[in-house]
Amino acid sequence: MSLINGTTTTLHAHMTFDWVEYTVFAAMLGLSVLIGMYYGFIKTGKETVTSYILGDKNMNIFPVIMSLISSHVSGITLIGVPSETYMFGTQYYAVIFVNIIVTLLIVYIFIPVFYKLQLNSVYEYLEMRFCHRVRVMASLIFAFYLLLYIPVVIYVPALAFNQLTGYSVHVITPIVSVICIFYTTFGGLKGVSWTVAMQSIFTITSVIFIIYIGCCNVGGFSEVFRKNEAGHRLEMFNLNPDPFARNTFWTVTFGATFNWLATLAIQPGVVQRFISVPTQRHAVQVIIWGAIGVTIVKSLTVFMGLLMYATYSDCDPFATGEVEKSSQLLPFYVLDIMGDYRGLTGLFIAGVFSAALSTMSCGLNAAAGTIYEDFVTIFYSSEKHAPIILKLIVVILGTLCVTLVFIVEHLGGVLQVAVSLGGIANGTLLTIFVLGLFFPWTGSKGAIAGIITSFTMITWIVGGSQISIATGKLRFPGKVTAIDDCPENLTIDYMTVMSRVQNYTGIGTPVEADGTVYFIYKISYMYYCMVGTLVGVLVGLLTTFITGCNDVSKINPDLIAPFLNRFIQSANVKSPKLEEHKLISQIVINDKEKKIISLQPRSVKS
């Protein structure tokens, strides 16, 4: 291990990019452009809304699976999960159990509903089930979330590139983003999916090299686990029921179940992929293989965190000042162990950017389809100019995201707020779909009340907690670290180093809060989505009982979770109104332009 004397100059002198590194990085960008050009200018076919956002519904499952995995595993995940493991241990790895639960729920509840409906925008379901206002509110929340999340996704790898090369974030971010906008704009879903599949090769290859070289440096797998056990990092079943503990088995399993349902079951980009394949059986294969891929990626990134701790168990780079933020830890580690291997640091940065670009391209494609279907078609429903409009939406959204990167850079601690907004958006959106799928007597008034309550409550909790963190009133010190084997000629004061060393050796990790921090702000960040969903659903149901319940006999069973259909059919006599609704809904599903959606009976919407 080559821990440098805390000076940036020496670090960069040891690990400077050369033409080999730039070639590897440029190869990833160049291949992305070529794939976009192929699907945009050579293999074009007839351009329609369906072909652009759903790949004509005859996509090969391989690129769809890879794009599903990559859209769920961003650069934030690639850099954040190893840092999480290094600082707080392996409790986060309990998400592998969540993966099984969420996959089963999607296969048996969500896919049967959404695949049968064949909607270009998943939020069309909300109009069919409730009313147009609910659909618009959901679309606005999703678009707002993406506009805040995508800049963060791009900013994180741009910071890593800045660490490696010294090039300003202002230079690399526009260049890479323009390339992403290009292949997303012209390639459509097919171009995006195959580009993501190619980019995932760079990501996976870089991770494998990091693990291989890291294990060789430490002394093998057994030594990695020995050092992590000695450092109290290995834990999976911390059964502490305290909801204010940062990570426990319960906060991870319950919290992540709600989070992952929101991102894997009802997110427009994911639902696009479900219905872009030829049959429902293929859709099931996509989610199952996607879940396996996500489990593999989570396993590899958690192990990278164990590798980093095994490497720095006796000389913590946070304590020595060589790393100041958790997002810098993995790039620092890669530079440290791979700096002497030409091309591998370039492969790493290509892998990080690949993960980020995959998330950005999938997000832009999904957002374009959602905005077109939920807003543009209200004023202009002809498909004649639809491809041009969709491409224009991608360009506008991409440009806004690039602009917001520069704003995000100056917000400092607000970066954490932007990431936490996932809990706000996910909790609110999951509220609506839970009410729609599982509570057939709920009407539009209950749905709107649930949306407003969920969004307001979680915004308040997340905002308060992030302000407390930013002002130093709420702190999350990690597990024990040491400086026993650090170089003697460190350039910083010994007392300063000792003040940064962590001493906690117990189960879990402590949460430190001043007496002025309101207790609800200390709730685990994993519970944001769950709290938002439960509160929103409760308020939605109460509002429904106060304002009046839907007549369940008039609800189209295609819009309800399959396991509830038997109860609806056994409790209600078949009525002409229900037959009329089913007929009209079938016409809506089969009509690609969805022009007659307004003909659905108002009785469905309460």
84 and 178 part of one domain: yes
152 and 254 part of one domain: yes
CA distance 425 to 529: 8
In a domain, 259, yes or no: yes
In a domain, 533, yes or no: no
Mean pLDDT of the residues in the chain: 80
pLDDT in tens, 342-373: 788 888 888 888 777 777 877 787 778 788 87
Q: Decide if pLDDT at 575 tops 60.
A: no
488 and 566 part of one domain: no
CA distance 443 to 437: 12
Residue found under tokens 């409730």: 130
Structural domains counted in the chain:
2
288 and 378 part of one domain: yes
* Angle, CA of 517, 522 and 460, to the nearest 5°: 80
The mean pLDDT of 506-529, rounded to a whole number, is: 89
**Is 54:120 a contact under the CB 8 Å cutoff?**
yes
In a domain, 458, yes or no: no
As a whole-number percent, the residues of the chain with pLDDT over 70 amount to 82
Residues paired with residue 474 on neighbouring β-strands, in sequence order: 513
In a domain, 443, yes or no: no
pLDDT in tens, 296-320: 989 999 999 999 999 999 988 988 8
Expressed as residue numbers, the domain containing 81 is 23-212+238-406+477-504
481 and 570 part of one domain: no
Residue type, 241: P
Q: Select the highest-mean-pLDDT range: 153-157, 172-176, 218-222.
A: 218-222
Cβ atoms within 10 Å of 412's Cβ, excluding its own: 9
Q: Decide if pLDDT at 95 tops 60.
A: yes
Residue 58: which pLDDT band, with cuts at 50, 70 and 90?
Answer: low
Nearest to 76 by CA among 463, 416, 527: 416
Residue found under tokens 């944001």: 528
Q: Decide if pLDDT at 591 tops 60.
A: no
In a domain, 346, yes or no: yes
Residue 452: which pLDDT band, with cuts at 50, 70 and 90?
Answer: very high
Provide the token pair at 431. 């509220």
In a domain, 224, yes or no: no
pTM: 0.82
CATH number at residue 251: 1.20.1730.10
Q: Decide if pLDDT at 596 tops 70.
A: no
Residue 540: which pLDDT band, with cuts at 50, 70 and 90?
Answer: very high
What is the DSSP track for 505-530?
-SSS---EE-TTS-GGGGS-GGGHHH
In a domain, 537, yes or no: no
In a domain, 371, yes or no: yes
**Is 386:372 a contact under the CB 8 Å cutoff?**
yes
